[in-house]
Amino acid sequence: SQQGEEDPQALSIQEGENATMNCSYKTSINNLQWYRQNSGRGLVHLILIRSNEREKHSGRLRVTLDTSKKSSSLLITASRAADTASYFCATALIQGAQKLVFGQGTRLTINP
C-alpha cells in the first residue's frame, strides 16, 4: 500500500461544520505536507509540519502530527462551500534528494 493513505476517501458535510481528514504513513519522515486540489487543477500547498512538531495552525486549518503512530490529521473549521476540493497529504522522506510521496486524497464536499 502507499506511504501516505488518507481517510476517509470522501467526506460530505454542511457548510459551517468542521471537516477532519486523516493521513497515515509507513516510514520515517522529514516532514509532512498537506495540499489542496480543485477539480482538474494543480495542487496548492496548505501547510507543512516538521517531524519534531506536533501541531500547527494556519487560519482555519489545524494540522497535528503523531510520529509514534505515524499519522497526521487536517482539521478545517467553519467550512465554506469554497473549501470543496480534494486534499492530499504528502510525506517528505529522509533521504538525499527530497521526494514527496502523495496519498490518494480525500474528496471533501461542502454542501451550502
Binding residues (CB under 8 A) for other proteins: these are 2, 4, 30-31, 33, 35, 40-45, 48, 50, 88, 90, 92, 96-105
Q: How far is the CB of 81 from other proteins (least distance, A)?
A: 22
Residues 78 and 103: their CA atoms lie apart, in Å, by 25
Task: State the virtual CA torsion across 42, 99, 106, 70 in degrees, nearest 10.
Answer: -160
Per DSSP, 62 falls in state E
The total number of residues shown for the chain amounts to 112
Residue among 44 and 78 whose Cβ is closer to other proteins: 44
Residue among 31 and 79 whose Cβ is closer to other proteins: 31
Residue among 33 and 79 whose Cβ is closer to other proteins: 33
CB 6 within 8 A of CB 104: yes
Q: How far is the CB of 9 from other proteins (least distance, A)?
A: 10
Residue 45 amino acid letter = H
Q: How far is the CB of 76 from other proteins (least distance, A)?
A: 18
Q: How far is the CB of 44 from other proteins (least distance, A)?
A: 7
Residue among 76 and 103 whose Cβ is closer to other proteins: 103
Contacts (Cβ under 8 Å, ≥6 apart) of 97: none
